[in-house]
Structure 1
Amino acid sequence: MHSSAIFLIEFGAVLLGLGLLGRFAGRLQFSPIPLYLLAGLAFGEGGLLPLDASEEFVATGAEIGVILLLLMLGLEYTASDLVSNLKTQYPAGLVDAALNALPGAVMALLLGWGPVAAVVLAGVTWISSSGVIAKVLGDLGRLGNRETPVILSILVLEDLSMAVYLPILTALLAGTGLAAGSVTLAIALGVAGLVLLLAVRYGRHISRFVSSDDPEKLLLVVLGLTLLVAGVAQQLQVSAAVGAFLVGIALSGEVAEGAHNLLAPLRDLFAAVFFVFFGLHTNPADIPPVLLPALGLAVVTALTKIATGYWAARRAGISAKGRWRAGGTLVARGEFSIVIAGLAVTAGIEPSLGPLATAYVLILVVLGPLTARWTEPVALALTRRFGKPSVATEAPAEAAVTAPRDSAERSAEDPDTVGHA
């Protein structure tokens, strides 16, 4: 009875604290992820108020949080969208992977952590935060900009790559051999391909089967189906997160929209619990020794993300301003970097990996909104100051070429301008 009371007090205090932190972040128009991570550090081992009675429940909630994050991500896309992006934007995806995964892998090897940790840290530095970036685009009024589809295409390709990356990582963390790992990967790719095929051909029938006019029944069916598929996927050593992602892709239309609205509060709740859980397993005293490598890695991968966005936007024919905006917007890392690092922490791969990932994400989740806002003006100012003198003589022609494009971008940013045109 006493332990039950302690559990309620601890868990209630955690949820109340997360709610207050979320409100504080909302007032500052900032992502709450770094605050949730700091809360986890405060409640974990070596923190100010260590949790005892509710830690097991928090662990279960964190696992549900990962599943809901991937489910909601899958609901954002249809199978046809994913196939279309693969056909048209795969070069940008390859450049993104090469430029941003390689620094993480190299850092892990330089630190002597071994090849498995290198694969983990490569994923941590590779994947941008879809949640943070979507919020930044909305806050800055850039959802209608010409570079925004380029940004979203890169994010889609990163998200889709998780369906391949996570099974590989799961097999490596489990310590399976080459043959077993190949079988696991083959199963994962086969399941993913089958789900995409079914979603393209029979997506309407699947959605009709799940659909219900009663929100309660719709919530129970979608959530139950997701947890069931995630459990089966994990039993097959594929990845519970991949299973949830594929369920989201298979649902479309009104069902996806309705499920999204119903599940959004649950996702936010359990995702916050997940970030706290990750912080619980990181001792604050372990962060200072890895702070310098995390800072160096953050600087390098911020620059490589800017280069990725610039190259992809240039390939799409976007003007210089849009290229810099695209690059700066992609810098933020967040939820999926922590998901990847969390798998490694649970497997006990490298003790310093969790603290480094925490510090890395804290740096870039704070830096990301700043680079999204300031990369373009800073880059253009530096170009004007240090650019070649010949550029100045060509300025009128350049302006004539880019003026309609930049004007279209400004109109997209301000819908009222379009209306008055």
Structure 2
Amino acid sequence: MHLAETLMALGGAFLAAGLAARLGRRFGLPTIPLFMLAGLLLGPNTPGLALVEDPTEFALLSSLGLILLLFYLGLEFHLDDLIGGGRRLLAAGGLYLLINVGLGLGFGFALGWGSREAFVLAGVIGISSSAIVTKVLVETGRLGRPESKLVLGIIVVEDVFLALYLALLQPVLSDASGFGESAQQFGIAFGFLVVLTAIARWGATLVGRLVDTRDDELLIVTFVGLAVLSAGVAEKLGVSDAIGAFMIGLILGSGKAGVRIQKLVHPLRDAFAALFFFTFGLTIDPGDVLSVWLPISIAIVVTVVGNLTAGALSSRIYGFGPEKASFVSLTVLARGEFALILASMAAVAGLDPRITAFVAGYVLVLAILGPLAASRSDDFARVLDRALGRWLPEAPVPQPAEETQRGQNARFEGVISGTPGGRD
């Protein structure tokens, strides 16, 4: 592709993604599936205009979108959030992951596509889309309520799990030969995580001083360079580039300049993350999605059952009744950005090509179904009340202090822009 054609295709991609998302917002739809849909319609696998004939031509820019996505996730996450949540938060979040990831792993093995594929599907089915979840919290006007604190706590626990899971998944995807090689690769990934986590915990202030500057332009150049370099170093070490981006975001987010960086990276993340989802859409063949409609349908049922079960059990830990339990269960139902990240990693690793088609259809359905179901959680709560009313007694939950809640609201409202992003 010549330069002029490349620029036209790139500009068209951004424009198409933006117009599709703008149209979808009028109907209250999340942007992630719409970016994918735009790529699908303008890709080489559908009739009509093919904006891009070869999706690999956008590979580098798409990778940059993934890096900024995970970098922003790291900026949002704070170790103090997990520590401050206490045992109850860990129990609720851990229970949610145990049920959903466990069901996903069982479903993956039941499909018979392969062991490596099963581990990918476990993450796809087990991890919710925080991009959609946090948007739902704001749009339903329930961000300041006690049940939303549990929802946000589940997201925090998922953040920690995601980093560990990517480290564990890397030697699996690389098809390491023998236990020794797998253990070595996991040891490198885990050691990389430990070192960078220690820096985030005790050295973030020093790192923040090294990068902080009053000039926004210089700050942007510096943190983008660090994010991309860290991703490259991680990839060189045989660790996922996503881990490197996440961890450098965690370090910078804990420093003095963290809030400024989060604000400055927001538009970059939005633009390149949109391109990441658009590029994923380019790779989708509708015929392939239709060929796996049965596994997609079963996975959706498994996800709904898992979420309802996990939401009810987690809500019981917090003493919530049916109404709040219904809202928690349905709010974290949507799947999105991390499912697509895992599908992209599976494609690069040469796993069963059906995974890409499966994830595309699965995400498209749940990314739309999740917000719609959450907006009608009160109706479902009446059904839940008749079924589990005695098992889920409503217990008074103390409201957080006004100043604490205002700070929490400000932090998470800053995440919401209606566009995709890590933990957006």
| 2:179 is equivalent to residue 185 of structure 1 | no
- CA shift for structure 1 position 382: 5.4
- The aligned counterpart of 2:26 is 27
- Report the Cα distance in structure 2 between the residues aligned to 1:198 and 1:235, rounded to whole angstroms: 20
SS at match of 2:182: helix
Counterpart of 1:227 in structure 2 is 228
> 1:211 maps to which residue?
212
Q: Give the gaps of 5 or more residues in structure 1.
A: 392-397, 416-421
Aligned to 1:287, what secondary structure does the other structure show? helix
RMSD: 2.5
Q: How many residue pairs end up in the alignment? A: 399
Q: Secondary structure at the match of 1:147?
A: helix
How far 1:381 sits from its partner (Å)?
4.3
Aligned partner letter, 2:152: L
Aligned to 1:143: 143
Tell which deviates more after alignment, 59-68 or 372-381.
372-381
Moved more, 67-76 or 304-313: 304-313
* Larger gyration radius, structure 1 or structure 2: 1
User: What are the residue-to-residue correspondences of 1:300-319 with 2, within 5 Å?
Assistant: 300-319=302-321
The offset of 1:106, in angstroms, is 2.7
The match for 2:292 is 290
Q: For the residues of structure 2 that align with 1:160 and 1:86, how far apart are their CA atoms?
A: 15
Aligned to 1:200: 201
Partner secondary structure for residue 161 of structure 2: helix
- The aligned amino acid for 1:34 is P
Question: Structure 2: how far apart are the matches of 1:173 and 1:382?
Answer: 40
Unaligned runs of 5+ in 2: 407-424
CA contact (8 A) 1:79 1:196 kept: no
Residue of structure 2 in register with 1:345 after alignment: 347
Residue type matched to 2:193 in 1?
A
TM-score scaled to structure 1, two decimals?
0.88
Aligned counterpart for 1:363 among listed residues 362, 365, 369: 365
Residues 150-189 of structure 1, C-alpha deviations (whole Å, 9 max, x = no match): 1111111111112111122221121112222211211222
TM-score relative to the length of structure 2: 0.87
Indicate if the aligned counterparts of 1:10 and 1:54 stay in contact, CA closer than 8 A. no
Q: Determine if contact 2:77/2:159 at 8 Å carries over to the other structure.
A: no
CA contact (8 A) 1:119 1:169 kept: yes
Q: Determine the C-alpha separation between the residues in 2 that align with 1:374 and 1:332.
A: 14
Once residues 326 and 246 of structure 1 are traced to their aligned partners in structure 2, the CA distance between those partners, rounded to angstroms, is: 28
Task: Give how far 1:50 is off.
Answer: 3.1
Q: Deviation of residue 253 (structure 1)? A: 5.0
Query: In 1, Cα distance between the equivalents of 2:205 and 2:148?
Result: 29
Match of 1:89 in 2: 89
Pair 1:68 & 2:68 matched: yes
For residue 164 of structure 2, what is the aligned residue in structure 1?
A: 164
Kept in 1, the 8 Å contact 2:128–2:334? The answer is yes
Contact 2:209 / 2:256 at 8 angstroms: preserved in 1?
no
Query: What displacement does 1:54 show?
Result: 7.0
1:265 pairs with 2:252:
no
Instruction: Report Cα offsets for 1:358-382 as digits up to 9, x if no partner.
Output: 1111111011112212233223245
**Letter matched to residue 10 of structure 2:** F
Alpha-carbon distance in structure 2 between the residues aligned to 1:62 and 1:82 = 31
Q: Evaluate the alpha carbon distance shift between residue 45 and residue 108 of structure 1 in structure 2; reply closer, same or farther with a 3 A threshold.
A: farther
Question: 1:312: Cα distance to partner?
Answer: 1.4
The alpha carbon displacement at 1:242 in A equals 0.7
1:113 match: secondary structure: coil
> How many angstroms apart in 2 are the aligned matches of 1:270 and 1:387?
44
Distance across 1 between alignment mates of 2:267 and 2:313:
36
The one-letter amino acid of 2:365's match is I
Overall identity of the aligned pairs, in %? 35
1:229 Cα offset (Å) = 0.8
| Cα offsets for 1:227-272 (capped at 9, x unmatched) | 1111000111111111111111112255111111111111111111
Please give the alpha-carbon distance, in whole angstroms, between the structure 1 residues aligned to 2:346 and 2:84. 32
The question of whether the paired residues in 2 share the 8 Å contact of 1:319 and 1:405 is answered with no
1:419 aligns with: none
Structure 2 counterpart of 1:349, one-letter code:
L
**Deviation readout 1:335-376 (Å, 9 max, x if unpaired):** 001101111022221011111111111111011112212233
